[in-house]
Chains A and B, each alone.
Chain A
Amino acid sequence: MMKRLILWVPLGAFLVFLAVVAAGLYAPRQEAVPSNMIGQPLPDFALQPAISGRPGLTSAELRMGRPHLINIFASWCLPCRTEAAQLAELRRRGIPIDGIAVRDREQDLAAFLSTYGDPFRAIGGDVDRRVQLDIGSAGVPETFVIDGQGIIRHQHIGAITDADLPEIMAAYQEAAR
């Protein structure tokens, strides 16, 4: 009797294998690559101003006691256009927002800001994507919440929608504590 049952074990194992494969095939594709740097201090960087006459962005100023948002964006990134209203709303609620413009040209960036609005305190130009890679960001747009000690506290992947505002506000207030 026992032997009979054991003969079914390979078939059982195969069915389990099929179930795992099917679950993997039908599960929605996970496209977002989260940063592994949440809870870690911001790496050191000093980005040149992306727009001349305005401040660039250094990691040192992000450690000076007040939480910030860092918005990683680009003028050539289509989804970045859709979050302009939400960034303006966060700015209106008194949250300082710094920008990191990825692989951007000054003239394109200036046109982007004049068309879609400019919520940024400072914009650093990340021409070779080094800072983006250094903080574990895998695309544009992404928004990071940095606390007053320069620790990365939260990452939002993709454009911010109205539905995401509470999550970002909560992360910001948590970082401000």
Chain B
Amino acid sequence: MRVAMALALTLAASAPALGDSLLPPARYANVQLADPRQERQAKALMETIRCLVCQGQSIADSNAEMAGDMRSLIRERIAAGESPESIRSWLVSRYGEWVTYTPELEPATWPLWAAPVVLLLGGLWLARGRFRRKRRA
């Protein structure tokens, strides 16, 4: 009983170490746009933008405050008529290609795009003997 009391007191007295501010979430962090077409565009973009503080999640999936701020920024700019690709390139110019889950074809990423083709050609080349022998038989 005394242990339980002490535990309850400790829990009550310890302030949580907050990583978030005390201000409410940004306006469009968790609020959809009124226009369903624009909301669809914004959501599709959010799903391909990487959260900066919770790496491995998109900002659409993340509860981090910063992800909320980025969702709000994207919704506001879509509502103002900006195209998703222009918002993406704005973010890439700030944080590099790292921030997007849809990497462009460029010198650093060409192996990514070339690998499937190279592997397929390599496999065909390895298997070519088999095909030849079968045809002869």
Residues of A within 8 A of B (CB): 3, 6, 9-10, 31, 33-37, 74, 76, 78, 102-105, 108, 127-130, 133-136, 138-139
Contact = CB atoms under 8 A, between A and B. Distances in A.
B53 A139 contact: yes
A138 B52 contact: yes
B96 A103 contact: no
Contacts of B93: 36-37
Interface in B45-98: 52-53, 55, 65-66, 69-70, 72-73, 92-96, 98
Nearest to A129: B69
Nearest to B29: A128
B6 interface: no
A34 B96 contact: yes
Given A35-B94, A36-B96, A134-B94, 17 more contacts: A9-B126, A33-B98, A35-B95, A36-B95, A37-B94, A74-B21, A76-B20, A76-B21, A103-B23, A108-B22, A128-B72, A129-B66, A136-B95, A138-B52, A138-B66, A139-B53, A139-B66
B126 A127 contact: no
Contacts, number: 59
A105 B23 contact: yes
Contacts of A78: 17
B18 interface: yes
A76 B22 CA distance: 8
B26 interface: yes
Contacts of A6: 126
Most chain B C-beta atoms within 10 Å of own C-beta, residue among A10, A108, A129:
A129
10 contacts: A33-B95, A33-B98, A35-B95, A36-B96, A76-B18, A108-B22, A129-B26, A129-B66, A129-B69, A134-B94
Contacts of A36: 92-96
A3 B96 CA distance: 45
A138 B21 contact: no
B42 to A, nearest CB: 16
Contacts of A127: 23
A104 B18 CA distance: 13
B72 to A, nearest CB: 7
A50 to B, nearest CB: 12
A67 to B, nearest CB: 22
A138 B73 contact: no
A23 to B, nearest CB: 16
A112 B16 CA distance: 18
B95 A128 contact: no
Contact of A133 (B17, B20, B65, B69): B69
Nearest to A128: B26
Nearest to A6: B126
A125 to B, nearest CB: 10
A59 B111 CA distance: 40
